[in-house]
């Protein structure tokens, strides 16, 4: 992992500035199902490079991430020619369930530290609208990149630039907390309600059961 981070930092340094962050983010999102910690480079750049703008760093990184994931989408879309007719019928049913909320699913997975390649591959196989996909994935990547950049800047400014390892520990703690919250949220349930009942149905379910139960409800038959 450390070698990968060093390589990403070197790539960013070769291209320089925001262009380097863009290239690193493309590379970090280009290979499906292999987690490449490009956000570490975003964090370090915003935290330690004098004059860097965390918001701009996040936007540039998010666009790069969207471009990288677009390649994953097209790879999955191309693979759709190899799936069976039976599988295609299942994908059509899933397309109906997701409806207009495929874009929301992409945004949610992209905007959180969760594995988004599964939903990307699925939408690619479904031949989901490419423009909707790219806008959603890029928006999600921009959000998580901006948050990462500002986290780096705030943590380092709070603890001091000389306390590198302390800032790393604090950042890891924040990351773990976010991951735990994201992991326990029942995204499948939320998207199922949206796909079948829409936003109105989701709000009705929240009013009936409460926000906590909807977000963290286990996948059990009621």
- Asked if residue 76 is part of any domain, the answer here is yes
- Asked if residue 199 is part of any domain, the answer here is no
Choice between 94 and 112, residue whose per-residue pLDDT is larger: 112
Residue 149's domain comprises: 2-163
- Region 187-199: mean pLDDT is 67
The tokens of 206 are what? 């929240």
How does the average pLDDT of the chain come out, rounded?
A: 77
- Asked if residue 206 is part of any domain, the answer here is no
Q: What is the DSSP letter of 202?
A: H
pTM for the whole structure: 0.71
- Asked if residue 168 is part of any domain, the answer here is no
Who's near 96: CB < 8 A, 6+ residues apart?
Answer: 195
Pinpoint the alpha helices (H) of 16-84.
17-30, 38-48, 54-79
Long-range contacts, 82-87 (Cβ 8 Å, 24+): 83/125
The yes-or-no verdict on residue 112 having pLDDT over 90 is no
- Nearest Cα to Cα of residue 144 among 109, 119, 181, 169: 109
- Asked if residue 210 is part of any domain, the answer here is no
Task: Please tell me the total count of domains within the chain.
Answer: 1
**pLDDT at site 222:** 42
- Asked if residue 209 is part of any domain, the answer here is no
- Asked if residue 57 is part of any domain, the answer here is yes
- Asked if residue 218 is part of any domain, the answer here is no
């Amino acid at each position: 992992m450390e070698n990968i981070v060093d390589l990403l930092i070197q790539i960013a340094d070769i291209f320089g500035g925001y262009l380097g962050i863009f290239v690193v983010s493309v590379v970090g999102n280009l290979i499906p199902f292999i987690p490449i910690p490009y956000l570490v480079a975003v964090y370090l750049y915003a935290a330690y490079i004098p004059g860097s703008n965390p918001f701009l760093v996040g936007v540039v990184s998010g666009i790069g991430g969207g471009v990288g994931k677009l390649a994953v989408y097209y790879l999955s879309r191309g693979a759709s020619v190899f799936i069976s007719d039976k599988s295609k019928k299942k994908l059509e049913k899933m397309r109906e369930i997701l409806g207009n909320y495929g874009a929301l699913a992409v945004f949610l997975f992209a905007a959180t530290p969760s594995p988004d390649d599964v939903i990307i591959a699925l939408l690619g196989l479904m031949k989901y609208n490419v423009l909707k996909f790219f806008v959603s994935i890029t928006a999600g990547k921009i959000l998580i990149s901006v948050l990462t950049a500002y986290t780096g800047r705030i943590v380092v400014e709070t603890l001091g630039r000389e306390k590198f390892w302390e800032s790393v520990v604090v950042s890891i703690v924040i990351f773990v907390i976010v991951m735990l919250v994201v992991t326990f949220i029942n995204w499948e349930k939320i998207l199922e309600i949206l796909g079948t009942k829409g936003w109105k149905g989701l709000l009705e379910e929240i009013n009936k059961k409460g926000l906590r139960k909807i977000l963290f409800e286990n996948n059990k038959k009621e």
